[in-house]
Amino acid sequence: MGWFAELELIGLFASVPVDMHREMTVTGELVTVRERLRMLGTQPVKVMWGHHPTFGSDLLAGPFEIQSGARHVTIDDGYDPPLNPLRPGAVGPWPLVPGKTGPFDLGRPQGRVAALVYLQDFASPWMSVRRLDDSVAAALSWESAVFPYAWLWYELGGNAEPPWEGKTRLIGMEPNTTWPATGLADANRRGGRLMTLQPGAEITTAVRLHVFKPEGSIQDVDAAGQAIFKAS
């Protein structure tokens, strides 16, 4: 099982009448974030709730692939920097989506890329990034009843604007209650799905991160958050 560590945080939000208890544990290769949200207000309130993990460094230092249990993808219709290879606002199946010059494989992005898409309709709610030389991988999983969407953000040296300066290499894999990623007011205006908290509501959920040395391609993540490999 390896080593074990635990941290508990409690937060009371100023913008909405909500408090959150967050417990983070590390057991061997697995990080688990358990959350309990309590609605303290007397009137319903709409919120966006999500996580914003990003991955870079050694994970992206060589050829890599991204895999997911998503079935459908919507490309952000407002994020279109010069090195975005995707067609803004288009939809498609994971991982092949409409690009500006033909189909683009989100699982194997090539070259300098800056793009933002939204994953949905998950057969199983997870994403992973794996170095193709099997030196390291990370798999993120969550509960789709709370987070039915995931924002997938590519910043692979493709954005010359500050603070990226064309030098940053990272992948954001971000489970969320809502899309688009343009803030609560704009999502509400555009008819995005927001979470409505009723007075007295209490919601519990967990997000899990497995960081490991892989044994080939990943096909799923189990209920404990551990990656499952494709049969060779």
CB 211 within 8 Å of CB 138: yes
What pLDDT does residue 197 have?
96
What pLDDT does residue 81 have?
94
Which class is domain 41-196? mainly beta
Q: Tell me the whole-structure pTM to 2 decimals.
A: 0.94
pLDDT digits (tens), the chain, 232 positions: 566 678 888 988 888 999 999 999 999 999 999 999 999 999 999 999 999 999 999 999 999 999 999 999 999 999 999 999 999 999 999 999 999 999 999 999 999 999 999 999 999 999 999 999 999 999 999 999 999 999 999 999 998 888 888 889 999 999 999 999 989 999 988 888 899 999 999 999 999 999 999 999 999 999 999 999 987 6
The closest alpha carbon to 176, from 151, 204, 201, belongs to: 151
**Domain residue spans in the chain?**
41-196
What pLDDT does residue 12 have?
87
What pLDDT does residue 65 have?
97
Helices (H), 85-208: 184-189
